[in-house]
Amino acid sequence: MPLYSVTEAAHHIDVPVSTFRTWTHGYERPSHDRRPVVGEGIVTTLPRDAGVSVPFVGLAEAHALAAIRRSGVPLQRIRPALQSAREALLWKLDGLSEYDIRRPLTSTGTNLLGLIKHVASVELGYFGVTFGRLFDEPLPWLVDDAESNADMWATADESREQIVGLYQRAWAHSDATIDTLALDAIGYVPHWPSDRSEVTLHRILVHVIAETHRHAGHADIVRELIDGAAGLREDRQHGAGRPGMVGELSEAAGARCAGSRTALSLPCSRLRKRRSRLTSGVNGRT
């Protein structure tokens, strides 16, 4: 798992180190009545001897925060950032067969309908269980004796309509939590380490926005592998790369490989074979 120092993470997303440190460590500022105003950290960190490390999920959360900050949208109005990711995920199902929305396209089994099922479960956990606002429908794939990663794929008995409907009901449940509670409302994430399981609604909003957009990116790649469709939503699609683009990129990778002596590089003979397969497959379609 990649870990970053606060300084490294700040440079990665191009924000001041002082800003990033506020996101990780929180702040304490004086007020007019001399009582300090205290804010908790809102980005995931891991403890280490010299301070904290920022894992990849924390970097993703900070990236979402930075994007919101640059857009000028107050953090109290960040629900549209969550809703856009929700809608992008659902659009990835449009026009596909029952088989295509279910079939795995990576070695870890990533599939479109499974991503929807997983993110629905994520919202019901973070905006429900965390704040004592339990969902009133059974989720058998989340019980203690359920099969590992059962929330990442749909069974033959679970229809597209059931999973999509569950996700939309999860939205409503989450939005009710967001509408009802203040941003500084305290909750507890039962599966997080005890030293950081106490959270605010603000913290959870940032976390879920980052996680949902991350899975929307997964869905974007899976959908492109199925039929080439790519983009944020139907009216903002972007087409396939220009003819020969994969071949050009493979050539560039090969040229770099030929001059590389690092232990992590594939032997160039293997890369050339892989490049040949890619270019013959892709350029043969165009």
Q: For 122-173, write each residue's pLDDT tens digit.
A: 999 999 999 999 999 999 998 888 888 999 999 999 999 999 999 999 999 9
Q: What is the pLDDT of residue 30?
A: 63
Q: What is the pLDDT of residue 110?
A: 95
Domain positions in the chain are 1-72, 74-239, 245-283
Q: What is the pLDDT of residue 170?
A: 95
List, for the chain, all residue ranges whose pLDDT scores fall below the cut of 50.
Answer: 263-264, 282-286
Q: What is the pLDDT of residue 94?
A: 93
Q: Quick: pLDDT tens for 163-183.
A: 999 999 999 999 999 888 888
Residue 185 near residue 200, CB atoms below 8 Å: yes
Q: What amino acid occupies position 98? A: E
Q: What is the pLDDT of residue 97?
A: 95
Q: What is the pLDDT of residue 218?
A: 93
Residue with tokens 């900050």: 69
Q: What is the pLDDT of residue 263?
A: 45
Specify which residues 28 forms β-bridges with. Answer: 38
Cα(26)–Cα(202) distance, rounded to whole angstroms? 12
Cα(284)–Cα(286) distance, rounded to whole angstroms? 6
- In which order are the strands placed within the sheet that holds 3-4? 3-4, 51-55, 46-48
Query: Which H or E run contains 186?
Result: strand 186-188
CATH top-level class for 74-239? Answer: mainly alpha
Retrieve residue 181's tokens: 């509670």
Retrieve residue 95's tokens: 């026009």
